[in-house]
Chain A
Amino acid sequence: GAVVSQHPSWVICKSGTSVKIECRSLDFQATTMFWYRQFPKQSLMLMATSNEGSKATYEQGVEKDKFLINHASLTLSTLTVTSAHPEDSSFYICSAEIAGGFYEQYFGPGTRLTVT
């Protein structure tokens, strides 16, 4: 149980285009989902917190107009990287908190984004 999927697992796009990453909780409902970014050999950096049906809360320094987050249902959140540039290349990971699970978060497998 407690499986989170992400799609796609890797994506290559040209500079200036937009990319959408999906995060789904497969076997539980998630009232809150989180989006992280991770650079090689570094820890996870929280980008934003999203709650179903409401606007995402972005961490300081994260451009909300560049990283659009939509939490459409209790099992789906999407991250859209708009007008991507090479510096946006990174490993993006989502996590989902089990509804009523008291902080228990499960992570997706991650999406490797490369912007050329």
Chain B
Amino acid sequence: QQQVKQSPQSLIVQKGGISIINCAYENTAFDYFPWYQQFPGKGPALLIAIRPDVSEKKEGRFTISFNKSAKQFSLHIMDSQPGDSATYFCAAADKTSGSRLTFGEGTQLTVNP
């Protein structure tokens, strides 16, 4: 199974700081890279997604940076807030597998007040 490796497993950031979560993939056919946010007992919510024709996408405080040659992408959360405390999952999809998402292992983010 194609893998997406996510790091770190857990992250603690102070309020106002920048949270950075990284993902690396192997399958060069991946052409869609979303990030999901999940609160305990809830389903994941689509935060932001990028396609490989751009190197960066920003939506509010959330930015995806994409490095095609390194096969890596990352999520940056600027001005992190306690309400951002959640589990974040990166994922990837490619046409050969339909629209099936391959998920990373998840990162537990805690933003301290």
Q: Which residues of B contact A (CB under 8 A)?
A: 32, 34, 36, 41-46, 49, 89, 93, 98-101, 103-106, 108
**Are B103 and A43 touching (Cβ within 8 A)?**
yes
Q: Which B residue's beta carbon lies closest to that of A60?
A: B1
Question: How distant is the Cα of A112 from the Cα of B73 in the complex, in angstroms?
Answer: 32
Q: B-contacting residues of A (Cβ < 8 Å)? A: 2, 4, 6, 32, 34, 41-44, 46, 49, 91, 93, 95, 97, 102-110, 112
- Chain A residues whose C-beta falls within 8 Å of the C-beta of B46 in the assembled complex: 2, 104-107
Tell me, rounded to whole Å, the shortest Cβ–Cβ distance linking A78 to chain B. 17
B98/A112 in contact, CB under 8 A: no
Question: Across the interface, do A34 and B100 meet the contact criterion of CB distance under 8 Å?
Answer: yes
Decide: A103 and B36 in contact? CB cutoff 8 A: no
* A112 cross-chain contacts in B, Cβ below 8 A: 41
Asked if B100 contacts A46 (CB within 8 A), the reply is: yes
Q: B24 → chain A, closest Cβ, in Å? A: 15
A108 x B98 contact (CB < 8 A):
no
Q: Are B43 and A109 in contact (CB-based, < 8 A)?
A: yes
Query: Which chain B residues border A2 with CB–CB below 8 Å?
Result: 46
User: How far, in angstroms, from A106 to B98 measured CA to CA in the complex?
Assistant: 16
Contact B43 A110 (CB under 8 A): yes
Given A42-B106, A112-B41, A105 contacting B98 (CB threshold 8 A): no
| CB-based nearest A residue for B97 | A49
Looking at A4, A42, A43, the one whose CB has the most chain B CB atoms below 10 A away is A43
Contact: B101 with A46, CB < 8 Å? yes
In the assembled complex, the Cα of A103 lies from the Cα of B31 at a distance in Å of 10
Also in contact, A32 and B98, with CB within 8 A (given A43-B105, A102-B32, A104-B49)? yes
State whether B44 touches A49 (Cβ < 8 A): no
- B contact residues around A108 at 8 Å (CB): 43
Partner of B32, one of A34, A41, A103, A109: A103
CB distance from B19 to the nearest CB of A (A): 19
Closest to A46 in B: B100
